[in-house]
Structures are given as C-alpha cells and as structure tokens.
Chain A
Amino acid sequence: MPIFSYIVLSIALFSIGIVGVLTRRNAIIIFMSIELMLNAVNLMLVAFSKMHQNAAILAGDVSGTAGMDGQLFVFFIMVVAAAEVSVGLAIIVMMYRNIHSVDVNFLNRLKH
C-alpha cells in the first residue's frame, strides 16, 4: 500500500483522539482518547518501518533487517502505555473516592 494511505489513517485517528480530549469531561474517556492517540502513532511507526525495509531492499540490502527498530519502538511504547494506564487509573479511582465524580471540571483547585 502507498505510505500516504497509512499517514492519512494515522492522522485521522490521532485527530479523533484530540477531539475526544477537547470535547469530553469524563476523565476516563479523556484517558481512552490518549490511548487512541498512542495507537495512531504505533500504526504510523509500523508502516514507516515496513517502508524503510522496502527502501533498503531496493537499495541492495540483502539481510532484510532494516526497519526493525521501528517495531521495537512500538513494543516499548506499549510497555510504557501499560505502566501509565495502571498508575493513571489508580489516580482516577483516588479522585473519585475524594470528590465522588470523574468530572475534570471539578479539578480546578490550582486555578484559585
């Protein structure tokens, strides 16, 4: 597939994540939109890694291992995202326990 198709798809998913962060007030939905953005970036990295491998093979690389770094980056992004989700959800649960809501508009104490 042409790489531009994957670029457009990833940008579309990323923008939908941005819209989700901007238009929702539920902290959990905002968190899920951030996960969506991370996945859009992951998809882009995998597509670029395959494009890089294709270019290296066309340029005469016989080993065919070019572009593997991109997929390992995706692996590490998933690792960091898993750690982030566990801590973030713990924070949201603590916030729910204190103010009995997941509405981010109540979290404005730094403003005053």
Chain B
Amino acid sequence: MNIIQILFWFLSVLAIFSALMVITSKNPIYSVLWLIATFFAISGHYIMLNAQFLAIVNIIVYAGAIMVLFLFVIMLMNLNKETEPQKSRWLKIAGALAGGCLLLVLVAALKNSVTKEQFATVNEGSIGLIKNLGKELFTTYVVPFEISSVLFLSAMVGAVVIGKKE
C-alpha cells in the first residue's frame, strides 16, 4: 500500500463518516460543521487528482461562502436540538433502506461497466491547473461564463426581493 492509496482511503473514510454525521446529528449547527469537514475531504480528493483550481474554488465557495451562509441562517433562527423536528422511527428506517437499496443497485449496475485498466491519473497531468482551465474558460466557454454572471445578478435580485419585508 503506497502513500496514494493510504491518502485515498483516509480521505474517503473521512468524507463518508462526516457525511453520515451530517444527516445523523441532532443539532443543525453540528450538521453544518460536519458538512464543512466533508467539503474539505472532497477538496483533498481534488488535490490528489491534481485539480488544484477546483480544490481552491471548492474551499472558497463551498466551505467559505455557502456554509457561512447556512451557519448564519441557522443562528438567525436560533435552531437547536430542542426545536429540531424528528420523523418517526419507521420513516427513518424506510429512508435508510431506500438509500441503501439505491447504493446497492448503482454499484451493482456499474460494476461491470468499467475495466481494471481504467485509471484516474493521480498526482500528474496539467488540465486542472488554472492556466489551462482559464484559457479554455475564456475561449470556448466564454458565452456560458458571461451568462452565469447574469444568473448571479438575477439570484442576487431574487434573494433581496424574497427576503425583504413586505
């Protein structure tokens, strides 16, 4: 077992454990903090795959901006363990069973679709570097890039309109 495999397993176990803690924590604040841990583990995977630009964007946008927004809203509403609504035990078991079935079916369906020779190259390749991605983003994908700025503007206007007191 070399260092890459050890890192892969460490990050995978960390990601899955924190994702499980997100949906099992009673306190919403803990859910947000565990979700941040999940995002850091996924960013570690991006760094391992040499997608450095996406790793940084993931940390800045998700762990930095979106999660702070979540935390802010939860603290604004003063949600805690006592106010947390709970589903009945049978509904929880049924939900977990449904998710487990989906996991089983997807893994079984995709098991034979890939061969052992198909590798995701780790720790090499330059397509994830900001120089190459930026060049592609501002030539081939310049129209979607500009449209996304309009999307952000409309989201900003929408959030203000929805959020203001009437």
Q: Which residues of A contact B (CB under 8 A)?
A: 1-9, 11-20, 22-26, 28-29, 31-33, 35-36, 39, 42-43, 46-51, 53-55, 64-69, 71-72, 74-76, 78-87, 89-94, 96, 101-103, 105
Interface of A is mostly: helix
The complex places the Cα of A26 from the Cα of B32 at a distance, in Å, of 13
Tell me which of B8, B42, B99, B127 contacts A53 (CB under 8 A).
B127
CB distance from A5 to the nearest CB of B (A): 7
In the complex, A93→B42 CA distance in Å? Answer: 29
- Is A2 a contact of B116 with CB atoms below 8 Å? yes
Contact A9 B87 (CB under 8 A): no
Q: Mark B123-136, 1 if CB is under 8 A from A, else 0.
A: 00111100011001
Flag if A11 contacts B107 (CB, 8 Å). Answer: yes
Find B114's partner among A4, A64, A74, A76 (CB 8 Å cutoff): A4
**Chain B contact residues, CB within 8 Å of chain A:** 4-5, 8, 12, 15-16, 19-20, 22-23, 28, 31-32, 35, 38-39, 42, 45-46, 49-51, 53-54, 57-58, 61-62, 65-66, 69-70, 73-74, 76-77, 79, 84-87, 91-92, 94-96, 98-100, 102-103, 106-107, 110-111, 114, 116, 118-122, 125-128, 132-133, 136-137, 141, 144, 148, 151-152, 154-156, 158-160, 162-163
A65-B127, A72-B133 as given contacts; A19 in contact with B120, CB under 8 Å: no
What CA separation (Å) do A53 and B16 show in the bound complex? 27
User: Are the C-beta atoms of A13 and B127 separated by less than 8 Å?
Assistant: no
A86-B159 contact, Cβ under 8 Å, with A50-B120, A75-B133: yes
Residues in B whose Cβ lies below 8 Å from that of A35: 35, 62, 66
Contacts of B121 in A (CB 8 A): 50-51, 53-54
Closest residue to B57 on the A side, CB-wise? A78
Asked if B35 contacts A36 (CB within 8 A), the reply is yes
**What is the CA–CA distance of A112 and B79 in the complex, to the nearest angstrom?**
29
Once the chains are docked, how many angstroms separate the CA of A80 from the CA of B4?
Answer: 32
* Contact present for B103 and A13 (CB under 8 Å): no
Q: Which 3 A-B pairs have the closest CB atoms?
A: A22-B95, A19-B99, A83-B155
- Chain A residues with CB under 8 A of B163: 90, 93-94
B98's partner among A19, A54, A55 (CB-CB below 8 A) is A19
**Shortest CB–CB separation between residue A55 and chain B, in angstroms?**
7
